[in-house]
Structure 1
Amino acid sequence: MSDPLILAVPSKGRLMEQTAEVFARAGLVLKKVGSERGYRGIVEGIEGIEVIFVSASEIVEQLKAGRAHLGVTGEDLAREQVSDMEKRFQIMRKLGFGNADVVVAVPAGWIDVRVMSDLEAVGRDFRRVHDRHMRVATKYMNITRRHFQANGITSYRIVESLGATEGTPAAGTAELIVDITTTGTTLKANGLKVLGDGVLLRSEATLFSSRAAEWTPSTRATLAEVARRIASL
């Protein structure tokens, strides 16, 4: 009996629906087995694939641990959860949905702060006046640290955001934010502006393969067939 290729896909919501739609266009019809509320499935029309339905965040962990050969999740989640993503995952195809940008946004009233390089001077001035670092609220702590380090920004501290990040400057719990946005409307409504070079990542739903998974001749053959069909999109 050949080894199955494990494909992890989002378990609910619009991401699950859009994943199913895109795969169906490629002739890969996802079908749950057992209950419609179950978390296992197959791909109709191609043998040798077991589908697991899990959260987008858990898909990253499944790929990282090698428990899934392929997975569909947001590039933002992959890069946040796996610092050396390129070494652990291979991007097979960006799927054209779930688009959003991870951005640095500051209060619109900071008229002299236009680009990332302005933040270090602002941070030093802020610390001199307030005797503390300026706070950056975000759910993307690792992406933020890497990007700020690459831009030579050291005068800040991260405040983990567990709720509506865009509201933290107005609430007085942070001075600026790193958050995900699709249109920027919510940021503007909260009196924030995106820095001119403040797009850290343009993310979308992506089909990844795991370098940590056990690849046998049968799973590689199945991968080749999936890749051939996905390439037709």
Structure 2
Amino acid sequence: MRYLTFALGKGRLVNDTMELLEKCGIVCSEVTDKNTRKLIFTNEELGLKFFLAKGPDVPTYVEYGAADIGVVGEDTILEMGRNVYEVLDLGFGKCRMCVAGPAQKRQLLEHHEMIRVASKYPNIARDYFYNKKNQTVDIIKLNGSVELGPIVGLSDVIVDIVETGSTLKANGLEVLEEICDLSARVIVNPVSMQMESERIRKIISDMKAALEQ
């Protein structure tokens, strides 16, 4: 029996994911051990391997078959556009992808004016403005605190993940438009889904059943 490999996006999704897998009888406590220096974690009995990766890399590992299954936020799946199967909405890690900015910029959005948009998610921003709103915009890719964009005059608005909105409020910004709801998802490599269909489908089925408990 070959190993099935999970790629898990680093951060708080890991604990929620491993907790869910435990309900399915899949245990690998080392994954959540903050002190370990190991990169690969194994459950020999079930023939499973786990590794942690930066969120944006998870779909890449899954597309190229280095991982059979991945758990990552929907924002990353949409932004990366990798060739993977999205098979299950886990329902945790909930947030929203929004257009945000100073209140006075709302009219620029309503009138479909040419504006500058700062975002860590240029592909999501481009798809939203060009394909859904038919609004021409100048998109600026940022990697850090995108809230700075409108504050220092780099951009009119931002496209970013919003959970509570408290960071926006603290910086004089607000949600102007909602793009989509987000949560953690399970993705699968298309070849793995064919080659290991029975095992993968059972894991997905067990996870789904555990979520419904």
TM-score with structure 2 setting the length: 0.86
Does the Cα contact within 8 Å between 1:67 and 1:213 map onto a contact in 2?
A: no
Between Structure 1 and Structure 2, how many residues are aligned? 206
State the Cα RMSD in Å: 2.2
Give, in angstroms, the shift of residue 111 of structure 1.
5.6
Which residues of 2 match residues 1-233 of structure 1 at below 5 A? 2-11=1-10, 13-32=11-30, 36-43=36-43, 47-82=46-81, 88-110=83-105, 112=107, 116=109, 118-120=110-112, 122-123=113-114, 134-150=115-131, 151-154=133-136, 156-195=137-176, 198-213=177-192, 215-216=194-195, 219-233=196-210
Identity of aligned residues (%): 29
Q: Is the 8 A contact 2:105 2:156 kept in 1?
A: no
User: Following TM superposition, by how much is the alpha carbon of 1:212 offset from its aligned partner in structure 2, in angstroms?
Assistant: 4.5
The runs of 5 or more residues in structure 2 that have no matched partner are none
**TM-score normalised by the chain length of structure 1:** 0.79
How far apart, CA to CA, are the structure 2 residues paired with 1:75 and 1:119? Answer: 29
Tell me: CA distance 1:101–1:111, structure 2 relative to 1, closer, same or farther (3 Å). Answer: closer
Cα distance in structure 2, aligned partners of 1:119 and 1:16: 42
What letter is aligned with 1:223? I
Q: Distance in 1 between matches of 2:27 and 2:55?
A: 19
C-alpha distance in 1, partners of 2:6/2:111?
42
Instruction: Write out the 4+ residue segments of structure 1 that deviate beyond 6 Å after TM superposition.
Output: none
Q: Tell me how far apart the structure 2 counterparts of residues 191 and 52 of structure 1 sit (CA, whole Å).
A: 39
Gaps in structure 1 of 5+ consecutive residues: 124-133
